[in-house]
Amino acid sequence: MEFVVVLILVSALLFWLAGRSSRRRRQDPASPVRTPEAAPTTGSPAAGKPPERETLTLGAFELWGSNFPDTEIVGEAYRRDSFRKLFKKHALASGQEYYGDAVLVPERNNPHDSQAVRVDVDEFEVGYLPREEAQRYRPVLDRLLQDGRAAVTPVRVWATNSDGTWRARVTIALGEPGEIVPANGRPDGEVVELPPNSRQVQVTGEEDHVEAIAPFARGTRTGVWVSLHGIEKPGTRTGKRVVEVRIDGQRCGMLSAVTSTDLLPVVDRLEAAGKVAAAHGYVRGNSLKADVSVDVMKAGDLSEDWIAENLS
């Protein structure tokens, strides 16, 4: 079977980590991602020739929960040629670092470990999640795959061939299984996703909206889509406005006056255009007590490109 694959390079940004400057490639979540799917063959995922694979085309989904690549993978030593090709492609010298996106590929037909999760960087196979970690993440990654989406997350690759042999260390950003994919669907309507900023802001008044929150209070931090709406603060006569937070259309609390001031300019503009402001939310707790937080960028920190694309 022939698969048509399209890679879309949306943007490249320069950022610093540990005092070093490197490039980081980000993909649009709607962009197709090429993921070779393992087929039953001889060969080990950790040594020898990798299994032969067919190529599938999936939509990309950028995992929630973490943007910092600090989770170790395994098996880099068996994929030295991948690092040679990756560094050659991006004109990186031995000892430099590559920052970009990794794709997590569940290898359902892997003959040696049916729970294996392979890590690809720029279409090159660079290793696997450790076995015990793969078992924890496979259920949520399998659900993404069934929906026709591939899990994409930030990656850091350090590699050197100073002695003539390529050696590498790969780390990826990976939150807990319950937070990396939202437990509910996107809000209804014409939705505009506000960029996350790894800046958690607390929702207030959750205790008055237990019914809306309880389905997602699962004892661990759970990712949820939330919508943001400008309202007049209840109980005030001054007309002071705040941002109300809703989960699946149900009110679950409000943001503080200070945080609301930071967000109302963009929320109000979107609502005036008939659009819905959506953001990454997180629920932590149980049926007795649960907290809700929102990971969202302040209106004043949004780029002019984002404003032109979403508010014009």
**Which residue would you say has higher pLDDT here, 36 or 27?**
36
pLDDT in tens, 263-289: 999 999 999 999 999 999 999 999 889
Q: For residue range 57-112, what is the model confidence (pLDDT) as tens digits?
A: 778 999 999 889 999 999 999 999 999 999 999 999 999 999 999 999 999 899 99
DSSP string covering 177-236, please? TTTSS-SSPPPSSSEEEPPP-S-EEEEE-GGG-HHHHGGG--SS-EEEEEEEEEEEPTT-
Q: Provide the whole-model pTM.
A: 0.80
What are the backbone angles phi and psi of residue 303, rounded to the nearest 5°?
A: -75, 155
Q: Domains for the chain: give ranges and CATH numbers.
A: 11-172 (no CATH), 191-311 (3.30.70)
Q: Mean of the pLDDT values across residues 46-66?
A: 69
